Amino acid sequence: MIPSQVIEEIRHLLGAAHVLDSVALALKNPGVDPHNLAAGWLARPQNTQELQQLVRICAQHEIALVTQGGRTSLSQGATSTPGQLIVSMERFNRIRELNPLSRTAVIEAGVTLAQLDDALAEHQLSMGLDLGARDQATIGGLTATNAGGNEAFRHGCMRERVLGLEVVLANGECLSELHQVRKCNEGFAIERQFIGSEGCLGIITAVSVDLVSRPHYRATALVGIEGYHQAVQCITALRFKSALLAAEVLCEGQARYALERIDALPKTPPAGQVLLLIEFTGISDTEAQATLAATLERLFEDELILDAWLAKNAAERAAFWRVREDWAVDQRYPGGLWYDVSVPIEHIPTYLSQVTANLQQHDPSLQLFVVGHLADGNLHLTVNCDHDIHERYEEIAPLITHSLKSIGGSFSAEHGIGLEKKQTLQRESSAVKQAWMRQLKLFWDPKNLLNPHKVL
Ligand SMILES: Cc1cc2nc3c(=O)[nH]c(=O)nc-3n(C[C@H](O)[C@H](O)[C@H](O)COP(=O)(O)OP(=O)(O)OC[C@H]3O[C@@H](n4cnc5c(N)ncnc54)[C@H](O)[C@@H]3O)c2cc1C
């Protein structure tokens, strides 16, 4: 438990209204994981100086800190336990600078992706990164997990979007490297180690990012495809189109269950075992529609697609995205398992048939559902059964991950390691890498106070 005099010290620093106890936390949404708020104490510093002092107090009393942004982690990265203090970044909510000429912005860690996107819209700019949790996920969380999302095939993951960082270190010092230029070689780029470090090396307070032109006009289709072999051929053709904004894959089961929950669309998805959500941009809505329609026609002629729905307006476009992003399968099969892998695109058909065969052989009652960002080879595999199987993550993981290394893939694409993939990391990563990761942790956080027990 955190000693009461430490809580008093923190209350004195932040103001009592910004130190929440378990009673106040019971009224808060814990986010994706029910254990996120289990620590029972949450502090809300409002700026870097306050956070530095908070970290110093906690370092002195050896109180462990779990930093939280939007609590949308899908790898148990933001969970906490009694005796720890949650540091909520919700009051780091300012866009410090927005520079349309240099196409950069400096954003505080607690700003959500949707809030940033609203601010960028009036300048015809975009972050170049989008994902389903856009309304909750914060810039700090996105950076700390090196998030990917729908546009990574065009603009990269957060590591490629970030130009600089401001970070409060485990001893309370502040490392400020908020560059707003693309070329910057000022010795070792130590600040970049915090991208993807999942709150284990430091607390990110602000991030400077590279912005991209905002695609205004969009045309969207949901197409049905016979199988993954044809889906990969479609992607190969689509990647030659500069108009391509998104190419998201979903299996027929995901589409069917999602459509049951969407009134605006027919209940039966476009024909095919695999569906692709394809989005194009253009210089007008009409031009984007025409380019997309012509491309689909060509794909029909080449017998790569079987069926297609073309969104007629913005409402239908949003409904198509819901078919992709709806958590329909998880609602249908509570207690299922999520795996987040990257597969070089040419290997996807073989990889998926192998995984399906592995699962069938292991336990015929298991069902596989697939959604993902096909254009960059990131697949989210959910393994479900007619009862809760959440205790079986480790038992099933090797069936999903064992061949990935040999084909150049990854067992952890975009959600991070958190607690969920710790054992997979131990199994799949080299001893050399793990030893240097431990050295790095020791270097930045010698007392093991920052998000302890996560990742390593
Ligand atoms: C519906 C849905 C769709 C999603 N889609 C995608 C997707 O397409 N691509 C993708 O990559 N992810 C996706 N995610 C996962 C999630 O949104 C990302 O991992 C996101 O980056 C987490 O941001 P957050 O602010 O919610 O962080 P949190 O969940 O609060 O924290 C995540 C991790 O980051 C650390 N952290 C948070 N803020 C900071 C900070 N300021 N400094 C240091 N460490 C910090 C935490 O300690 C924790 O380890 C999705 C999640 C949901 C619920």
Q: pLDDT of 15-73, one tens digit each?
A: 999 999 999 999 999 999 999 999 999 999 999 999 999 999 999 999 999 999 999 99
299 closest CA partner among 230, 240, 252, 239: 230
Residue of the nearest CA to atom 7 in ligand 1? 149
* pLDDT of res. 444: 98
**Is 274 within 8 Å of 234 (Cβ atoms)?**
no
What pLDDT does 366 receive?
97
Q: Distance from the CA of 73 to the center of ligand 1, in angstroms?
A: 4
How many angstroms separate the alpha carbon of residue 271 from the centre of ligand 1? 34
Q: Would residue 142 be called left, alpha or beta, if left means φ above 0 and alpha means ψ between -120 and 50 degrees?
A: alpha
Nearest CA to 167 among 99, 75, 67, 86?
A: 67
How high is the pLDDT of residue 295?
A: 96
pLDDT < 70 positions in the chain = none
Q: For residue 55, how far is its CA from the centre of ligand 1 (angstroms)?
A: 22
Q: State residue 379's pLDDT score.
A: 98
Q: Whose CA is nearest to atom 21 of ligand 1?
A: 142
Q: Ligand 1 centre from 301 Cα, in Å?
A: 41
pLDDT reported for residue 107 = 98
Percent of the chain with pLDDT over 70: 100
Q: What angle do CA 145, 34, 321 make, to 5 degrees?
A: 60
> What pLDDT sits at residue 92?
98
- Give the model's pLDDT for residue 303: 96
Q: Residue 165: what pLDDT?
A: 98
What residue owns the CA closest to ligand 1's atom 8? 149
pLDDT at residue 348 in the model: 98
Spatial contact of 58 and 28, defined as CB atoms under 8 Å apart: no
Q: Which residues pair with 138 in a beta bridge?
A: 112
Give the number of other Cβ atoms within 10 Å of residue 447's Cβ.
13
- Region of 152 on the Ramachandran plot (φ > 0 left; ψ -120 to 50 alpha; else beta): alpha
For residue 157, the ligand 1 atom closest to its alpha carbon is: 11
* Nearest residue to 106 (alpha-carbon basis) of 140, 132, 60: 140
Q: Name residues contacting ligand 1 (CB within 6 A).
A: 32, 66-74, 77-78, 89, 109, 131-133, 136-138, 140-142, 144-145, 147-149, 198-199, 203-204, 414-415, 451, 454
Q: Which of 221, 220, 192 is nearest to 204 (CA)?
A: 192
Q: Best substitution site from 29, 46, 67, 456 to test ligand 1's pocket, by max atoms within 8 Å of Cβ?
A: 67
- How many Å lie between the centroid of ligand 1 and the Cα of residue 70? 7
